[in-house]
Amino acid sequence: MEEWTRERIENAQAEEISYLYLFTPLCGTCQVAGKMLSVITALTPDMHIGKADLNYMPDIAEKWGVESVPCLLIFKKGNLEEKLYAFHSVPYLLDKIKSYG
């Protein structure tokens, strides 16, 4: 999972489906969620999930109404479709992500 710049985040909006994982480095739950998403990216190498540290992009949290971290934003054709805060398990996340395409 690669860390996305502000420019890359904006470009992802033009894609059919895009996923953006928002975290803060000192959040323990974020560390676990990040590892779960790393497993998913290893299982599905054609799927690109970006990540961004909200400490450096607080305007993103405001723009999309992010209430807490970890948060996975799911976009479809530039529209925010879903915000996931509860990551549960790798199979749960994989099913949720695959349901979007």
Helix (H) or strand (E) holding 2: strand 2-3
* pLDDT for the residue 12: 86
What mean pLDDT value characterizes the chain? 93
pTM: 0.93
> What are the pLDDT digits (tens) for 17-54?
999 999 999 999 999 999 999 999 999 888 889 999 99
Hey, what amino acid is at 21?
Answer: Y
- Overall CATH class of domain 2-93: alpha beta
Beta strands in 24-78 (DSSP E): 49-53, 71-76
User: What residue segments make up the domains of the chain, in order of their start?
Assistant: 2-93
> What are the pLDDT digits (tens) for 1-13?
899 999 999 888 7
Per-residue pLDDT averaged across 85-91, rounded?
96
